[in-house]
Structure 1
Amino acid sequence: MKKTILTGLLLIAAGGIQAQSYIGYLSDNYSGVHGIISNPANIVDSRFKTDVNLAGVSSFFGNDYYGVKLGDVLDTDFDFDENGNKHPKDNNNLFGNADVLGPSFMFNINPTNSIALFTRGRVGYNINKINGETYENISNDFDENEDFMVDEDDFYLTANAWAEVGLSYATVLMDKEQHFLKAGISVKYLQGLGNAYASGKNVNIEYDADGTDLGGGNTTGSITSQGEVHYGNSDNIDGNFDDFEFEVVDGATGFGADLGLIYEWRPDHASYDPSKGQSYKHLNKYKLKVGLSLTDLGSINYKNGTESIYDINATVNEDDFEDQDGIEDILQTLYTETAMGSSTKWALPTALHLNVDWNMGKKFYLNLNGDMSLTSATKKNVSRVANIVSLTPRFESKWFSFYMPVGMVQGSGAQWGAGFRAGPLYIGSGSVLSLLISDNSKAADVYAGLKIPVYQGKPKDKDGDGIVNKEDNCPEEFGPIENQGCPWPDTDGDTVTDNEDQCPEEAGEVANNGCPWTDSDGDDVLDKDDQCPEEAGPVENNGCPWPDTDGDGIPDKDDQCIDKPGTAANKGCPEVTEEVQKSLNEYAKTILFNSGKASIKAESTQALVDIISILKEYPDAKFTVEGHTDSIGSATTNQKLSEARALAVKAFLVEKGIDADRLTAVGYGETKPIATNMYKDGRAQNRRVEINLVK
């Protein structure tokens, strides 16, 4: 009985993991035609001229019931029932798949459009919501003298094999500065190769070791069950699964589709400007890439498939159960078929994928990928993927890539793998490292394949000027794109090329845009140094004429009285003329003193005021105030009196605002008469004060 039940319940193991393909490899920008698996937009603006896949296979199995260490499994003494770690719970799950990418290729129609043709064979199976205690009871090679109970409630089992022939098309939607957006679609013709599914509602099974009396004191076990079971299959599957072979099933066809968008942020877009005459098809140009895709939309209708519904509310004996050849015989022979019809249409494992790829610098990348199932785990004949998040650091180059994906998978926990691509060979696993180091690995996968990659070549640029040889008019000589790759000429040989030389026929200076410096005002000071290029001036004044503030014809630099007109002879200051000198002395002669004294009489005030007015007109001139007497009296007395009177006049002038430094008081006594002292009139003329200019 054990073998029959084990087959019927498809091992009743459990796994909470999805069927993933080519884990780690699909993050590689050099995965080529494989890129359509995760996002059909991958094939446009790719690093390939064309990529031909010869054959590739990926296989995956995972569950949340049973965990092992890879090293233990390889031991010849390993026993799955005794040496593995079991984690039974009310709702265990198991998922698995095989994915074969057959002859397929992609190529670029032009820089903004690409297509791919692909063939693909796939197998997927899901067991959802199976009670792990059931497997515990059966797998322990139970003692037929012991009773047990199986409480399954609701469960869902699905297995499907199919082939795909698809066409992918991808195009660039936007290429504007740092923003780049592309989109792709795959349409797939689906051919079913086999389908079987079962589901149960409120299923409960109780085994009584001696519940049936066979007579003569002999007994056998009885199996009491309740609930409802739905069982469907394609017409190439019968009750004996051991005889099953994959084959094209008549009338089992369908259509599917994948949709995808990819955005790239290219902050260094200016470096990849095609107007520079360079082609950058061989380079990844993004700093950050974000992809969003929806895969496996569609279904297959097994038109000749059948589905039966069985009422299993019955008690049967163990001998009758053991006599049946398979699950179909068990259901048809021992239980009541309540309905029969066409099988339910099988739905593809539709999923949403988010992919973020960060170029960390040079050839190192970090990829974040998330997959989310969009199909239900509680519908019959539906395949699904479980949610997974993976982080994949990788080194990527044209001929070699290496990656180490780390994933957190729903139900099965963390997985750690490694893989590489070396030219035409790719091989890897998303779980190999965790299998080696973990004592409780619940998932295992592996992939490998061969292809013929034809990469985008780096355009040849012999002179290294950024312009490919075929577009360079001077491929042997460095030159700018503006001159078709040729160096600019320098006709006048002044080291300023003609494209920047404003005087290409006349040698000039670099600082003057290739033109010679001019001297517009002819003052021998070049305009570049001339602060007054339109007005002649001396070198010492930077080419500007000296200013003459007072307009007396004497430049300020030589003018000691820049605010008052003067004469050159007097260094630009006003000059005291003979007429002025005469006027001063005419006024001075009218200054009267009290007899024999130095005190000035009041009636002399006006004359002094007039003198002050004249002195103020010549603020820089210095004068002597000279005192003179007649010869009456002693010479000593006359000398002292003349000095006192000169000092009295000076004091008056200073008091009224004349700078003392401008005046010198001198007494000459009777030594400088201007008339004879023999007569009264002559002596009167000799008693005088003179104010004379100091020259």
Structure 2
Amino acid sequence: MKKITFLFLFVVSSICVESQSYIGFLTDNYSGVNSVISNPANITDSRFKTDINLIGVSAFGGNDYYGVNVMDAFKDDYDFDLDAKKSPSTDNNAALNFDIMGPAFMFNLNKKSSIAVFTRARSMVNINEINGETVDDLDNDTTDDFYVNEGDFNAFGQAWAELGVTYARVLFNEGEHFLKGGITLKYLQGGGSAYATGKNLTVDYEADFFVIGGEPQARITTTGQVTYGRFDEFDNDNYDYELPEKATGFGGDIGFVYEWRPNYADYTSTSADGPTYANKNKYKLKVGLSLTDFGQIKYKNGLEETFDISNSVREDEINDEEDLNSVLNNLYILTNSKIGYTATLPTALHLNADWSFTNKLYVNLNTDYSLISKGKENASRISNIVSLTPRFESKWFSFYVPLSMVENNGFQAGAGLRAGPLYIGSGSVITALAGDDSKGADVYAGIKIPIYQGSTKDKDGDGILDKLDGCPDDAGPIENNGCPWTDRDVDGIMDNVDECPDKKGPQENNGCPWGDRDGDTISDNIDACPDEAGAIENSGCPFKDTDNDGVIDKNDKCIDVPGTVANNGCPEVLEPEVTQEIQKTLNAYAKTILFDSGKSTIKLVSNGVLDEIVNILGKYPSAKFSIEGHTDSVGSDALNQKLSEERASAVMTYLIEKGVSSTRLSSTGFGETRPMATNATKAGQAQNRRVEINLVK
């Protein structure tokens, strides 16, 4: 076994898959049935009556280990090992992707729904977590010995065919907001698969360890565990390929597309069976979200074997074996074996936004995100990608320049076009031709038969097709066969809505002149009571006196209760008098109001007393009261004056908040000027610190 063998196998398999097939082409509104692979909702409300794809092929290649100048690579003296730029890491990844879109067609069931049927053949290979630094060490001309410390890796490859049926329909179409959805169901036929995983793998190659028959012979010492799975006889050199038996499955895609159509009215026309849409772009912004390739293929006859490869063997022992299966089974220890395994499709989430500058110039932002983790076994996986694609688009020709950031490959620039039935392009051709360190390349091409929606003509722009328009040169409504309405009485109101087409009248009265049915000189359009004579100041209605007390309702504050004119129509109510006893009770309560020391804030304990005062004042709704604050002589005159005013105001504020009218209350402070006891003693000072509530006479 030679070092170049390891190097060759790694380089050949180090092909990084990109995210989606036909990069750039699928952003085109004229991609037709092909667009079903990125979002099944795309096929309805499209530019096509029907679209038939004959054949389309897309292939992707990339490399996160080697970077090359594509133009130099075709030169005779180009040395791949010496001239290519290497990017080894402990986690180099590998994959390969081919996508063949076979015969496919779509057609519209009606204006709101469409269906598509397609065939597709695909193959993908993923190799993850290859230790590229170890591979780089193999290219050492100073010795034939080498040591590979690979650690863990997993590799998986599968090929399969799809027969898909897609249904899509318009879900919401109201004004400038439009939503459509679609779903694809796919029958899957496995075309073959194989996978290998390694745990704690090492390889120690000693070139001249043995001498047998005078010839040096290498020893290969390996450690770790290898699991090898494949469908039956996949690695048999004598195997005559046939589709694997019992290798089928089901999958699907689902997607939605929202369109913002601020000028939606400009794109409608009318035909005999109602509204339709002209064959041109209708949206300013289109946003698509889809989930693709959820599903699995079950290889019921597949074989999975796990080996402990901790052993030392001679190189000629490996060379004597027929294939990898023989090497593993004859030279290493089989620790586990089972029949049947499941292969998972490359499930991915796609978010797409398309902005329309004009009917022919667009820019598209697309993100594809793999929902399959890098280390997942028996699963195909796409690389994550973000693409920005400006494009020119017309009915028979489109041109696009995708600019992408691809996982493991970095930046890539490409170009593509569609010319009638032909589409061709690449998501990386510019980068591949212009760069010195190109790690990716892809190409696609195909041919189809597009049958576009027919164009419509409406010369007068009234939304009625000329062939159905009674007046194709003069705009008019469909109710009048496309002809304008007349206005016999020349009042500015067309006869179709004028209830008095031979008499002038305002629009508010449907073209009829206003009358005065009750003869009160107020025209019916402003008369609130057009059948009863009334006063102008009462909007043409007679004034009422519901309680017959001589005070009309508009002046009567008690409409349903007879009263007096002097009391605005309300009955006179005698209010009780505030007696000396009530006055004493108020001040008895007021003197017990307590404040925080040196402050005007009322202590919570006094709330009950204040509420009693509120109850008393409520019994005398017309009486007015003065709230007076007093202090002792401790402190300065100015400070005591201010404190007495603030305490009186605080009590008044509390009473107002509890419902006493502010018009009935006033507050003032007297400071220390009106003592009711001597300030020489503590007891006297306590009596002087008080609030009084007195009737204002």
Same fold (TM over 0.5): yes
Code of the residue aligned with 1:380 in structure 2: it is E
- In structure 1, C-alpha distance between the alignment counterparts of 2:384 and 2:101, rounded to whole Å: 23
Cross-structure match for 1:261: 256
Change over 3 Å in CA distance of 1:24–1:39 after alignment to 2: same
How many Å separate the matches in 1 of 2:371 and 2:75?
40
Query: Is 2:351 the partner of 1:354?
Result: yes
Aligned to 1:339: 336
Counterpart residue type for residue 328 of structure 2: L
* 1:51–1:300 distance in 2 versus 1, CA, 3 Å: same
C-alpha distance in structure 2 between counterparts of 1:12 and 1:335, whole Å: 26
Asked whether the 8 Å contact 1:12–1:135 carries over to 2, the reply is: no
Find the partner of 1:420 among 389, 399, 417.
417
1:247, CA displacement in angstroms?
A: 3.9
Q: Deviations over 1:198-230 (max 9, x none)?
A: 1100000011112223265x4311110000001
Instruction: Work out whether residues 270 and 463 of structure 2, in 8 Å CA contact, stay in contact via their aligned partners in 1.
Output: no
Task: Give the distance between the partners of 1:266 and 1:333, measured in 2 at CA.
Answer: 68
User: Across the two proteins, how many residue pairs are aligned to each other?
Assistant: 514
The one-letter code matched in structure 1 to 2:209 is: G
> In the TM superposition, what is the alpha-carbon distance from 1:317 to its structure 2 partner?
1.0
Q: Is 1:234 paired with 2:231?
A: yes
Indicate conservation of the 8 Å contact 1:278/1:468, yes or no: no
- Whether contact under 8 Å (1:12, 1:127) holds in the other structure is no
How far did 1:366 drift? 1.1
1:106–1:115 CA contact under 8 A, matched in 2: yes
| Conserved 8 A contact 2:19-2:384 | no
Q: What do residues 258-289 of structure 1 show as CA deviations (whole Å, max 9, x unaligned)?
A: 01111111122333456796521512211111
2:393 matched residue in structure 1: 396
Distance 1:78 1:145, change over 3 A: closer
Aligned twin of 1:677: none
Q: Which has the larger radius of gyration?
A: 1
Would the aligned equivalents of 1:426 and 1:449 in 2 still touch at CA under 8 Å? yes
Change (3 A) 1:13 1:116: closer
How much does 1:431 deviate? Answer: 0.1
Amino acid aligned to 1:186: T
1:449 matched to 2:446: yes
Report if aligned partners of 2:424, 2:445 keep a CA contact under 8 Å in 1: yes
- Contact kept, 8 Å, 1:428 with 1:446, in 2: the verdict is yes
Q: Is the 8 A contact 1:19 1:60 kept in 2?
A: no
Give the partner amino acid of 1:56: G
Shift of 1:21: 0.4
Alignment gaps of 5+ in structure 2: 514-697
Question: In structure 2, how many angstroms separate the alpha carbons of the residues matched to 1:111 and 1:284?
Answer: 16
3-state SS of the aligned residue for 2:357? Answer: strand
The C-alpha deviation readout for 1:631-681, integer Å capped at 9, x for no partner, is xxxxxxxxxxxxxxxxxxxxxxxxxxxxxxxxxxxxxxxxxxxxxxxxxxx
Q: Partners in 2 of 1:474 and 1:278 — Cα distance?
A: 19
One-letter code of the match for 1:270? A
1:71 aligns with 2:66: no
Residues 483 and 224 (structure 1), Cα distance of their counterparts in 2 relative to 1, 3 Å cut = same
Partner of 1:250: 245
Residue 651 of structure 1 corresponds to: none
Q: Which residue of 1 aligns with 2:185?
A: 187
Identify if the C-alpha distance between structure 1 residues 106 and 442 changes in structure 2 by more than 3 Å, giving closer, same or farther. Answer: same
- Taking the aligned partners of 2:424 and 2:323, their CA distance within structure 1 comes to 39
Q: How much does 1:491 deviate? A: 5.5
SS in 2 for 1:136: helix
Q: Which amino acid aligns with 2:351?
A: L
Contact map agreement 1:19 1:61 (CA 8 A) in 2: no
Q: In structure 2, the residue corresponding to 1:345 is in which secondary structure?
A: strand
> What is the Cα deviation at residue 252 of structure 1?
0.7
The structural deviation recorded for 1:45 is: 0.8
**Counterpart residue type for residue 148 of structure 1:** F
Q: 1:178 maps to what in 2?
A: 176
Are 2:16 and 2:440, in contact at CA under 8 Å, matched by a contact in 1? no
TM-aligned CA distance change 1:402 to 1:236, over 3 Å: farther
Aligned partners of 1:17 and 1:412 also within 8 Å: no
Tell me which amino acid in the other structure corresponds to 1:367: N
CA contact (8 A) 1:125 1:158 kept: yes
Alignment of 1:497-508 (within 5 A): 498-499=495-496
Q: CA separation of 1:507/1:259 partners in 2, compared to 1, >3 Å: closer, same or farther?
A: closer
Report how far residue 489 of structure 1 moved: 4.1
Structure 1 residue 289 corresponds to structure 2 residue 286: yes
Match of 1:374 in 2: 371
Distance, in Å, in 2 between the alignment partners of 1:133 and 1:12 is: 17
* SS across alignment from 2:301: coil
Q: What secondary structure does 1:263 align onto?
A: strand
Change (3 A) 1:437 1:165: same
Of 445-454 and 231-240, deviating more is 231-240
Q: What SS does the aligned partner of 1:102 have? A: strand
How much has 1:178 moved relative to structure 2? 1.8
Question: Which AA in structure 2 matches 1:50?
Answer: T
With the length of structure 1 as denominator, give the TM-score of the two structures: 0.68
Q: How does 1:434-445 map to 2 (within 5 A)?
A: 434-445=431-442
CA deviations on 1:556-614 (whole Å, 9 max, x unpaired) are xxxxxxxxxxxxxxxxxxxxxxxxxxxxxxxxxxxxxxxxxxxxxxxxxxxxxxxxxxx
Task: Please name the residue that 2:219 is paired with.
Answer: 222
Write the letter of the residue equivalent to 2:246.
G
Q: Is residue 457 of structure 2 the alignment partner of residue 488 of structure 1?
A: no
CA contact (8 A) 1:4 1:326 kept: no
Distance in structure 2 (CA, Å) of the matches to 1:506 and 1:371: 68
RMSD: 3.2
User: Out of 139, 144, 147, which is 2:145 matched to?
Assistant: 147
Using a 3 Å threshold, how does the CA distance of structure 1 residues 12 and 458 change in structure 2: closer, same or farther?
Answer: closer
Q: 1:39 to 1:244 in 2, by over 3 A?
A: farther
Cα 1:155/1:87, change in 2 over 3 Å = same
Superposed, which structure 2 residues align to 1:453-492 within 5 Å?
453-461=450-458, 464-475=461-472, 478-489=475-486
One-letter amino acid of the structure 2 residue matched with residue 256 of structure 1: G
Alignment deviations for residues 166-193 of structure 1 (CA, whole Å, 9 cap, x no partner) = 1000111111222211111100000011
Amino acid at match of 1:48: F
Report the Cα offset of residue 5 of structure 1: 4.8
Q: Name the stretch that deviates more: 221-230 or 358-367.
A: 358-367
Distance of 1:83 and 1:4 partners within structure 2: 17
Contact 1:15 1:92 in 2 (8 A): no
Report the 3-state secondary structure (helix = DSSP H, G, I; strand = E; otherwise coil) of the residue aligned with 2:329: helix
- TM (norm. structure 2) is 0.68
Residue 402 of structure 2 corresponds to which residue in structure 1?
405
1:271 aligns with 2:262: no
Specify the alignment match of 2:43 in structure 1. Answer: 43
The alpha-carbon deviation at position 19 of structure 1 amounts to 4.8
Q: For 2:378, what is the secondary structure of its paired residue?
A: coil
Secondary structure of 2:191's partner? strand
Aligned residue for 1:111, secondary structure, equals coil
Q: Which residue of 2 aligns with 1:571?
A: none
Tell me: CA distance 1:263–1:150, structure 2 relative to 1, closer, same or farther (3 Å).
Answer: same
Letter of the aligned partner of 1:157 in structure 2? A
SS at match of 2:93: strand
